[in-house]
Amino acid sequence: MANRTITVRGRGQASATPDGAAVSVAVRGQSESPREAHDDVANRLTIVEGLLDEHGIDRASWTTTLISIQEIDEWEGERPARSHRTTFQALAELEVFLTDTSRAGTLVAELVARAAAQVEGPWWRVVSTNPAWQEAWERAAADAGRKAQAIAAALGLSLGAILEVAESTGPERPRARTTGGGGFLALSAGAEIGIQAAGLEVAAAVDVTYELTQG
């Protein structure tokens, strides 16, 4: 007689204090010359990198995520007297990870004022060594046990040995409700927007296979 088994998925959540936040910093330039558009972005990107250095952000904490130069066709006026011109748009983007977000508002304001940068974020991060993950996994395992026990009892059976345990989908990205929203920030000189994590939580899921025995 084949062994009877049951596989259940347990889920667990835990409140977490984020280990930092990522922001995207973009600089754009447009000109009738591709070289001028490129040089404009390159010069402002140098300003961005200098500001990150001034704020003590380790260079290992930022990554270039996009560099592009595109030809843009522009039309003006009504047919048949429409005029056409071609310009070039250059773009460079960095993703910057901030472990100290207390002065993020000041950094964003300076990036906008001094480099005419566009800033998007934050995306909060909870690293794998954060204690919240341990709590979430424990709750997921306990949830799996409760589910399996309830199903076995409903069938007039008992749970036997655990035969297999597998992480179902990998650590799920933390979900957060924050005071800041998505979209590029457009700030006037001197303005400052603070960011704050609120209601951040991590979620874990685990699949557990039990042997079923006669009750």
Question: Are both 57 and 109 inside the same structural domain?
Answer: yes
Question: Are both 4 and 31 inside the same structural domain?
Answer: no
Question: Are both 102 and 134 inside the same structural domain?
Answer: no
pLDDT at 204 over 90: yes
CATH number of domain containing 200: 3.30.110.170
Phi, psi of 100 (to 5 degrees): -115, 105
Question: Are both 105 and 31 inside the same structural domain?
Answer: yes
Question: Are both 137 and 198 inside the same structural domain?
Answer: yes
Q: Which of 88, 64, 90, 86 is nearest to 75 (CA)?
A: 86
CA-CA distance, 22 to 120, in Å (whole number)? 9
CB burial readout 57-71, b (16+ within 10 A) else e: beeeebeeeeeeeee
pLDDT in tens, 139-164: 999 999 999 999 999 999 999 999 99
* Poorest-pLDDT segment among 67-71, 87-91, 191-195: 191-195
Whether residue 43 is contained in a domain is answered as yes
CA-CA distance, 65 to 53, in Å (whole number)? 19
The residue segments making up the domain with residue 25 are: 20-73+86-125
CA-CA distance, 64 to 24, in Å (whole number)? 10
Question: Are both 26 and 110 inside the same structural domain?
Answer: yes
pLDDT in tens, 3-43: 799 999 999 999 998 899 999 999 999 999 999 999 999 99
Whether residue 179 is contained in a domain is answered as yes
Which residues, in sequence order, are CB contacts of 210 under 8 Å at separation 6+?
5, 6, 7, 8, 148, 152, 159, 160, 161, 162, 163
Whether residue 206 is contained in a domain is answered as yes
Tokens encoding 156: 């007039």
Whether residue 167 is contained in a domain is answered as yes
CATH number of domain containing 68: 3.30.70.360
Question: Are both 25 and 103 inside the same structural domain?
Answer: yes
- DSSP code of residue 190: T
34: cis peptide before it, omega within 30°? no
Question: Are both 35 and 114 inside the same structural domain?
Answer: yes
Question: Are both 141 and 209 inside the same structural domain?
Answer: yes
Q: What per-residue confidence (pLDDT) applies to 77?
A: 65
Whether residue 81 is contained in a domain is answered as no
Tokens encoding 138: 């424990």
Question: Are both 158 and 193 inside the same structural domain?
Answer: yes
Give me the number of domains the chain comprises. 2
The average pLDDT across 102-116 equals 90
Q: What per-residue confidence (pLDDT) applies to 192?
A: 64
Question: Are both 99 and 137 inside the same structural domain?
Answer: no
Q: What per-residue confidence (pLDDT) applies to 41?
A: 96
The whole model's pTM is what? 0.69
CB burial readout 34-49, b (16+ within 10 A) else e: beebbebbeebbebbb
pLDDT at 80 over 80: no
pLDDT in tens, 43-72: 999 999 999 999 999 999 999 999 999 998
CA-CA distance, 95 to 25, in Å (whole number)? 6
Which residues, in sequence order, are CB contacts of 214 under 8 Å at separation 6+?
157, 158
Q: What per-residue confidence (pLDDT) applies to 74?
A: 74
Whether residue 78 is contained in a domain is answered as no
- The residue among 125, 153, 185 that closes a domain is 125
Question: Are both 152 and 171 inside the same structural domain?
Answer: yes
Phi, psi of 143 (to 5 degrees): -65, -40
Whether residue 202 is contained in a domain is answered as yes
Whether residue 30 is contained in a domain is answered as yes
